């Protein structure tokens, strides 16, 4: 059976540290890995738009010496003719060695994995999970801040539909003493299954509306955009979209070493004036995304480089 990555919890804590170590080694010694995936093929099956995830997967495979095929929208695949995800994954398994798939429906990757005979990576399933973004976020925090234990992490914006938020909270509940400050308008609160999980596991959390009040205590501020594509009506989106805008003034109340992360794309929620602040780590975060995906491809394909 191939090993898949469908949920950020699919790797143990030890395996995650190994993956992050490998990503670090790849970043420091790119030549060592330049032919690690010679003759291997990655399929990117994206039923939803993407810039970072798809292109960083493709860049990752090219930098490992492999090849890439795939589609970047449902309309340019036979999904437009009604082909199921299961059948598509069965076919892709004949053409490629590993597949990254993004789909607008929650659970699509889990369905696809039943029929995939190659490793399948969930590159985002609806408002549910985005495990490789979580790997990216963990590597960024680990590289720029050190340990996860004892961090106070603020997650701000659309906590209802933001799949990266759901995955990251899940993943951080494996480290002791992490505290969560969930900053959102009441309409975009994190789903109750997340807060129930935090309570069950005994993690401290609070739900607040004001970013100004929350910012001074944070070690990490994870900003998110309001997920326009998951709203049922435009009016609600317009009302919510500029609820939070992180600017220089707000940053002046933050800790001197607080990291600002964002899975990107950004819309208005971080003013461009923050980009030059040394605490703004979101573009560096996107680059870490490529290294961790290189490490992930090697790990799922069982390729070791001496």
For the chain, what is the radius of gyration of the CA atoms?
19
The answer to whether 265 contacts ligand CP (rule: CB under 6 A) is yes
Asked if 163 is an active-site residue, the reply is: no
Interaction of residue 290 with ligand CP, rule CB under 6 A:
no
Tokens linked to 98: 């590993």
Q: What is the DSSP string of 120-186?
A: EEEEEETTTB-HHHHHHHHHHHHHHH---TT-EEEEES-TTT-HHHHHHHHHHTTSTT-EEEEE--G
Is residue 51 a contact point for ligand CP (CB under 6 A)?
yes
Is the bond leading into 116 cis (omega within 30 degrees of zero)? no
Q: Segment 136-155, which members bind ligand CP (CB under 6 A)? A: none
248 is catalytic: no
CA-CA distance, 110 to 79, in Å (whole number)?
17
Is residue 53 part of the annotated active site? The answer reads yes
Q: Binding pattern to ligand CP, positions 87-126, x when CB under 6 A?
A: -------------------------------------x--
Nearer to ligand CP, 124 or 154 (CB): 124
Residue 265 C-beta: closest distance to ligand CP, Å: 6
- CA dihedral over 133, 138, 139, 144, signed as positive or negative: positive
Question: Contacts with ligand CP in 208-247 (CB under 6 A)?
Answer: none
* Residue 52 among the catalytic residues: yes
Contact assessment for residue 294 and residue 60, using Cβ atoms and an 8 Å cutoff: yes
Closest to 36 (Cα-Cα) out of 14, 69, 61: 61
Handedness of CA 261, 266, 268, 272 (dihedral sign): positive
73 binds ligand CP (CB under 6 A): no
Which range touches ligand CP (CB under 6 A), out of 28-36, 51-59, 235-243, 291-299? 51-59
Residue from the set 4, 52, 266, 293 that interacts with ligand CP by CB under 6 A: 52
Other CB atoms within 10 Å distance of the CB of residue 25: 15
Nearest C-alpha neighbor of 135 from the set 25, 1, 18, 225: 18
Angle at 272 between CA 28 and CA 133, to 5 degrees: 45
Nearer to ligand CP, 46 or 244 (CB): 46
Residue from 44, 50, 72, 173 in contact with ligand CP (CB under 6 A): 50
Task: Specify the residue, 152 or 167, whose C-beta has the smaller distance to ligand CP.
Answer: 167
Residue 50 or 170: the one with the smaller Cβ distance to ligand CP is 50
Active-site residue identified among 4, 102, 160, 166? 102
The answer to whether residue 30 forms part of the interface with ligand CP (CB under 6 A) is no
Nearer to ligand CP, 124 or 126 (CB): 124
Handedness of CA 103, 106, 109, 112 (dihedral sign): negative
At closest approach, how far in Å is the CB of 107 from ligand CP?
A: 18
Asked if 89 and 64 count as a contact pair (C-beta separation under 8 A), the reply is no
For the question of residue 102 being annotated catalytic, the response is yes
Options 104-112, 171-179, 193-201, 261-269: segment touching ligand CP (CB under 6 A): 261-269
Tell me the catalytic residues: 52-53, 81, 102, 130
Q: Which parts of this chain interact with ligand CP (CB under 6 A)?
A: 50-53, 124, 133, 263-265
């Amino acid at each position: 059976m191939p090993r898949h990555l469908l949920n950020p919890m699919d790797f143990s804590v030890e395996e995650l540290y190994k993956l992050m170590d490998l990503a670090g080694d790849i970043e420091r010694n790119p030549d060592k890995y330049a032919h690690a995936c010679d003759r291997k093929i990655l399929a990117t099956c994206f039923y939803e738009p993407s810039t970072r995830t798809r292109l960083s997967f493709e860049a990752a495979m090219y930098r490992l010496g492999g090849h890439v095929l795939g589609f970047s929208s449902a309309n340019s695949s036979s999904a437009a003719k009604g082909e199921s995800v299961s059948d598509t994954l069965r076919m892709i398994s004949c053409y490629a060695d590993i597949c990254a798939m993004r789909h607008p429906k929650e659970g699509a990757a889990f369905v696809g994995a039943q029929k995939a005979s190659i490793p399948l990576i969930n590159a985002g399933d609806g408002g549910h999970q985005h495990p490789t973004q979580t790997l990216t976020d963990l590597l960024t925090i680990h590289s720029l801040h050190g340990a996860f234990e004892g961090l106070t992490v603020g997650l701000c914006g659309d906590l209802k539909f933001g799949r990266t938020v759901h995955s990251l909270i899940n993943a951080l509940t494996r480290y002791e003493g992490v505290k969560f400050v969930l900053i959102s308008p009441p309409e975009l609160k994190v789903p109750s299954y997340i807060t129930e999980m935090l309570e069950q596991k005994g993690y401290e959390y609070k739900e607040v509306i004001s970013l100004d009040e929350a910012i001074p205590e944070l070690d990490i501020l994870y900003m998110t955009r309001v997920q326009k594509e998951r709203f049922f009506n435009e009016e609600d989106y317009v009302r919510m979209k500029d609820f939070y805008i992180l600017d220089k003034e707000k940053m002046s109340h933050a800790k001197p070493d607080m990291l600002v992360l964002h899975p990107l794309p950004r819309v208005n929620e971080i003013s461009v004036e923050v980009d030059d602040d040394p605490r703004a780590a979101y573009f560096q975060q996107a680059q870490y995304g490529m290294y961790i995906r290189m490490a992930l491809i090697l790990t799922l394909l069982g390729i070791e480089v001496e």
